[in-house]
Amino acid sequence: MTGAVTENAVRQLVDFRVTPPEYRHWRIDVDGQVATLTMDVDEQGGLQPGYELKLNSYDLGVDIELYDAVQRLRFCHPEVRVVVLTSGKEKVFSAGANIRMLAAAEHGQKVNFCKFTNETRNGIEDATASSGQIYLAAINGTASGGGYELALACEHLMLIDDRSSAVSLPELPLLGVLPGTGGLTRVVDKRHVRRDLADYFATRPEGVAGRKAVQWRLVDETVPRAQWQRLVAERAAELTARSARPTDASGIELTPLAKTRGAASAAGGEIGYQYVTARLDRAAACVHIEVRGPDQAAPADPAAIQQQGAAFWPLAVTRELDDLILDLRTNEPELGSWLLRTRGDPGLVLGYDDLLLNNAGHWLVNEIVHYLKRTLKRLDVTSRSMIALIEPGSCFAGSLLELALAADRSFQLLGVFTEQDPAAEPATITIGGMNLGPLPMSNGLTRLQTRFFGNEDQLAEVIRHLGSPLLADQAEQLGLVTFAPDDIDWDDEVRIAVEERASFSPDALTGLEANYRFAGPETMETKIFGRLTAWQNWIFNRPNAAGPDGALRRFGTGQRADFDRKRV
């Protein structure tokens, strides 16, 4: 059953595949250049039993649908220039993340929920910034916590002025936690709310309404109820003029993603798609991931891309990789190391890259490239150790080289496996145009710039090899791979790396990787995933929030939380 929990021999699995007819919590209505995305949460539609999603509160299942809706608006509706995000409930926009769900969830589930929710909000902002599909928050009732954080992801915020509706971030005073889906960061970095006002706002559970909310920059305007429908429509019409979305393009269908997931066992199992396969190895606490390149040359022009639609290789492989990352992150938390391999013809990969680069102005090409960018960012912020294995027959070139550049370590075989296939061509990697700008990390830099941060001469030397297949000794000398063992040492070096990783503290590894992966400037995204998420992770695990007498547990009981008063 898509978009829901399914029974499995080992654990319940969350499926991130969903289609609009299956939505329980959202409605999409398209009227020319304006779409309305209405949040109308089914109270009995929780992803897990034990709580009701009252007051448009949400859980992971609600956000899975939202993520799908945002994707479909970008790919299926190029004519849509403005998305009005609003509520289908009377006098409530959204009460945010469901408190009962958070209180009952395991620590890892809470953290993973916040991470996915953050990524979905970032996707809304990316739609506005990269695709000209501008989001307008029509806050037609109170927006609390994550509900206000959802509105913060929009470009323009309208709050109904009915003497009761307000915006608030009440997590600290009511729950003993933080607004964990970017609220603190967006208030000061995006909305430019003064620090002292933001401090007051985040400690005031009832929030701020009316003229003060506008003065403090918490919203852009307030609107009397009698003028609400008219002014929302007017503002949406004004925003359409700012967009460069095409007026004559036809969208493509995001067809259901074909996926097989073998029955899990004590040993492992396999997850399979057309171009991506993951073999689960529970004994070694790792996943062997293989991404396959295209099996035919790139088409000649964007018209052919449109015709192929979701079957177009860069889009198909990105959708599969995106779903796999979410599946493994949510359903396989104990498999801490991901071993990344590719297989295919590097020349064909570079051919598809060139097609995308040469047609960057085409709306569908633009969407595909930004989707790949977002998926690679999702990989970057995943709390798993990643090791790239570059072997004969691999195609780590251009866009697929990004997988190796995202890895914490990389091994490229020097020569060939003489006993297995002595006639094979040695493994190479190839830098392409896709590595030089279109796929930035959350820090705003490419993975090459991040890799050689502060070493501009070395980066320039690497770029001089653009388009040239690099053997293991060349790649190691240039600093593009970590190690280049020969076939005698290959198995032992890889085995030791995996076993060593499995022996370390997962918590310490997560902190290590998150700090090393984002060299260079700090952005709103790196603050959210590096600073805010790390603090929320810690706070979620503290007795003051999650203990039996903590604020999350006692919320709604009439009892005050019993805090340990020591500052740590």
Q: What is the DSSP-derived secondary structure letter of residue 433?
A: G
- Exposed e or buried b per residue across 437-473, where buried means at least 16 C-beta atoms within 10 angstroms of its C-beta: ebbbbbbebbbbbbbbeeeeeebeebeebeeebbbbe
CA dist 356 and 365 (Å) reads 6
CA dist 416 and 492 (Å) reads 16
Residues whose CB falls within 8 Å of the CB of residue 497, separated by 6 or more in sequence, listed in order: 387, 409, 411
- What residue type is 446 in one-letter code? T
Closest CA to 225 of 138, 162, 141, 157: 162
Look at the alpha carbons of 153, 158, 163, 164 in this order and tell me if their dihedral is positive or negative.
negative
Domains of the chain, earliest start first: 5-240 (3.90.226.10), 285-501 (3.90.226.10)
With a cut of 70, list the residues of the chain below it in pLDDT. 1-11, 263-266
Cβ atoms of 33 and 84 within 8 Å: the answer is no
pLDDT of residue 180: 84
pLDDT digits (tens, 9 = 90+) for 294-350: 999 999 899 999 999 999 999 999 999 999 999 999 999 999 999 999 999 999 999
Tokens at 25, concatenated:
């919590």
pLDDT of residue 264: 62
Closest CA to 68 of 135, 31, 23: 23
Tokens at 37, concatenated:
């995305």
The DSSP element (H or E) to which 222 belongs, if any, is strand 221-224
- Helix, strand, coil distribution of the chain in percent, nearest 5: 45, 15, 40
Cβ atoms of 234 and 55 within 8 Å: the answer is no
The DSSP element (H or E) to which 142 belongs, if any, is strand 141-144
- What residue type is 200 in one-letter code? Y
Q: What is the DSSP-derived secondary structure letter of residue 277?
A: E
